[in-house]
Structure 1
Amino acid sequence: EALAYVRERKGLPRGDLDRTKRQQNFLRALMQQVLSADTLSSPSRVSGLLDSVGRVVGVDEELSNGDMYDLAWSMRGLRSSDVRFLNAPVSGLDTIDGQSVVLLDRGRAEPLWRAMRNDALPEYLAAHRTDGLGGPDSVR
């Protein structure tokens, strides 16, 4: 059911844009479940989580198991209210070679890339109250 939920787009009013919001909703629910179980405050639970995630997620070859464990352990104080979901700004939709595509708004995206490079996302979010998809705010 979850897979069908995150893959749906044809029956949604804004197609891929609404699909993105569904995917963010799924990730939010998964994150809340992990955080509510105090998974990140128990070394053995962190190891179990990483074992489960490692079976279905690919990561860069440079990221070791130890690095992933350290990253997960460092997030043990994280709360779902600390996380914002957003998308790169888009300028619209199109069809190219028979494929539905979402068009990046490069001009509006540059401040986001700069904020990411400079570790300044809180400042970006304060100045840009949008989800990048033409909505009024980021998906929470």
Structure 2
Amino acid sequence: MTRWTTCLSAAVTATITLTASLPAAAAVPLPTTARQAHGKAVNLRLTEKIRHKLADAFWKQYYGKSRPGTRAKVDGPKQVYYGKIRGATSTKDVYWAVGFIGIKGDPVSYQDGPHVWRKRGHHGWEYRGDTGGCLAKVPKSLLKLWHLPECE
């Protein structure tokens, strides 16, 4: 028996012993709440407001602070996947977006992709970069939900 198997066997025995000693009322399942499902990947609907915030984060990362009229120079993001990993509280939710984006008049800016953004809780969007086709930066549970491969 390996060390790992021995530890697992001891844990199972301890669980069975503990469960057998609990009163019958403890076996009744508790109602689940949205927050009990923390760590769960959730698909979300992208709004134009969020699309604009993603574009602003992209522009800010590459060209400095946002200025009036800069959003008109950004093309996208398009073909966006948007979701979150649920946290223990809403302030611990982590939002993710994956999509294609570029700057009008700059053909080089359209190369590669898709691009990735992240937002933690109630903070602003952070542009995480161009993936070059490998979405390893994005949680696997979201990629599975979106039916996207980690790397192409």
- TM-score, normalised with respect to structure 1: 0.28
| Greater Rg by CA | 2
The TM-score normalised by the length of structure 2 is 0.27
Larger strand fraction of residues: 2
Greater relative CO, 1 or 2 (CA 8 Å, sep 6+): 1
